[in-house]
C-alpha cells in the first residue's frame, strides 16, 4: 500500500494533511466547536502524537488513515453532524477523471505503521527551546500553499527498480557493482522530476510579472469600477452603490498555484477598504460587521 501511495498520491497526502490543519487553526473547520468533529480532528491527532513521542504504530490497524479520510470526505461533500459545509474545493474529490490521485487515495487503506510516522513528522515539530508540540499552521498563507504545490510539481516519490546511486549531477542512476548504493531495490525514494513542469504546461507567474499585471490591468479596472460607485453616491443613490460595490470580478483562466489571484485579492481588498474609509456605505459596512462566515478553503487543484 505504501508503494501505491508513493506513486499516485504523495502530493495530495501532503497538501491534504496541511490544508486540514490550516483550516482547523483558521476556524474554517469546527475544531473546538463540535465534539463529534473533535474526535476525528487532525489537531487531536497532533496533540496525541506530541503527548507520546515514543508511541509505536500498529501494523494492522488503520485508525489514523480512517480519521484522515473522514475529514477529507467531509470537506469535499460536507457533514451536517460535524457542522462542516460541502466546500468542494477539488483537492479531495474522488472523481477518477478530474482527480486521479484523489480516487486512488480513496481506494487505499494505509495501516498506522505505514501512515503514522509520516503524519507525526508533518504535524509535530521542535520549538526553539527544544519543546516538541503540534505545529501551528495559522501563519501559513495561501501563497505559501502555492509554493508548496509548485515544489511538489518538480518532485516525486518512486520505487527503485534496482539498486540506485547518485551521479555527479545528483540524479539517481542504476548503481554499478563498485558504486555506493543510495537506494536499495524496492525502496521508496524522493527525487526531482526534471522537465515535468514544462511537459505538463504547469507554470506560475513570477512576482515581478504579477505586480506589473496588477498595475497595468487591475488598477485601471478598479479605478473605473469605484468611480461608478462614487458617482452613484454623489447623486444619493446609496442602494444602487451598495449593490454595485461588490460587483467586481477577476478571472485567471490559466490558474496554477494561484499566485496572481491571491495578489489580486490582496490589492482589491486594500483598494475597497480605502474607498470605504473615504466614501462610507452604511449597508456595506453593516454587511462587513456581521463577522466571518464559512467560506471555501483555499484548496489547490
pLDDT at 300 over 50: no
CA nearest to 123, candidates 53, 63, 190, 70: 53
pLDDT of 291:
46
DSSP letters, 241-259, are HHHHHT------TT-SS-H
For residues 51-71, give the mean pLDDT.
91
CA–CA distance, 266 with 263 (Å, rounded to integer): 5
Query: Where is mean pLDDT largest: 40-49, 130-139, 199-208?
Result: 40-49
Give CA–CA dist 53/59, Å, rounded.
18
Cross-strand bridge partners of residue 79: 84
* 154 band by pLDDT with thresholds 50, 70 and 90: low
pLDDT level of residue 15 (50, 70, 90 thresholds): low
Mean pLDDT score across all residues of the chain: 80
Strand residues in 118-203 grouped as ranges (E): 124-126, 132-134, 155-159, 164-166, 172-174, 188-192
pLDDT of residue 199: 46
Give the other-Cβ count within 10 Å of 34's Cβ.
16
How confident is the model over 284-296, as pLDDT tens digits? 876 665 544 444 4
Strand partners, 184: none
pLDDT: which is higher, 140 or 52: 52
Which pLDDT does position 16 carry in this prediction?
63
pLDDT > 70 fraction of the chain, expressed in percent and rounded:
77
Does the structure show a pLDDT above 70 at 10?
Answer: no
Direct distance between the N- and C-terminal alpha carbons of the chain, in angstroms, rounded to an integer: 24
Q: Is the pLDDT of residue 164 over 60?
A: yes
pTM score, whole prediction: 0.59
Is residue 80 within 8 Å of residue 30, measured between CB atoms?
Answer: no
| Residues near 264 by beta carbon (within 8 Å), at least 6 away in sequence | 214, 218, 250, 252
pLDDT value of residue 101: 73
Question: Which residue, 82, 99, 83, is CA-closest to 91?
Answer: 99
Dig out the grid coordinates for 35 from the structure.
465534539
Q: Which residues contact 232 (CB under 8 A, 6 or more apart)?
A: 238, 240, 241, 244
Amino acid at each position: 500500500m505504501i508503494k501505491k501511495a508513493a506513486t499516485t498520491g504523495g502530493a495530495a497526502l501532503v497538501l491534504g494533511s496541511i490544508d486540514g490543519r490550516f483550516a482547523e487553526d483558521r476556524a474554517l473547520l469546527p475544531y473546538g466547536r463540535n465534539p463529534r468533529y473533535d474526535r476525528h480532528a487532525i489537531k487531536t491527532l497532533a496533540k496525541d502524537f506530541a503527548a507520546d513521542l515514543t508511541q509505536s504504530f500498529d501494523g494492522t490497524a488503520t485508525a489514523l488513515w480512517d480519521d484522515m479520510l473522514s475529514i477529507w470526505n467531509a470537506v469535499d461533500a460536507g457533514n451536517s453532524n460535524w457542522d462542516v459545509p460541502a466546500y468542494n474545493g477539488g483537492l479531495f474529490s474522488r472523481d477518477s477523471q478530474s482527480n486521479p490521485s484523489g480516487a486512488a487515495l480513496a481506494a487505499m487503506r494505509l495501516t498506522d505503521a505505514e501512515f503514522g510516522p509520516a503524519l507525526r513528522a508533518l504535524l509535530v515539530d521542535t520549538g526553539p527551546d527544544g519543546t516538541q508540540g503540534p505545529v501551528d499552521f495559522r501563519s501559513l498563507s495561501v501563497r505559501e500553499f502555492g509554493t508548496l504545490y509548485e515544489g511538489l510539481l518538480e518532485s516525486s516519490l518512486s520505487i527503485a527498480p534496482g539498486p540506485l546511486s547518485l551521479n555527479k549531477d545528483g540524479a539517481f542512476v542504476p548503481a554499478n557493482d563498485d558504486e555506493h548504493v543510495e537506494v536499495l531495490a524496492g525502496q521508496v525514494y524522493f527525487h526531482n522530476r526534471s522537465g515535468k513542469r514544462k511537459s505538463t504546461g504547469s507554470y506560475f507567474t513570477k512576482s515581478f510579472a504579477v505586480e506589473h499585471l496588477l498595475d497595468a490591468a487591475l488598477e485601471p479596472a478598479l479605478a473605473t469600477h469605484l468611480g461608478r460607485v462614487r458617482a452613484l453616491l454623489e447623486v444619493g443613490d446609496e442602494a444602487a452603490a451598495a449593490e454595485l460595490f461588490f460587483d467586481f470580478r477577476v478571472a485567471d483562466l490559466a490558474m496554477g498555484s494561484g499566485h496572481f489571484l491571491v495578489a489580486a485579492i490582496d490589492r482589491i481588498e486594500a483598494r475597497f477598504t480605502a474607498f470605504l474609509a473615504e466614501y462610507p456605505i452604511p449597508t456595506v459596512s453593516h454587511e462587513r460587521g456581521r463577522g466571518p462566515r464559512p467560506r471555501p478553503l483555499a484548496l489547490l487543484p
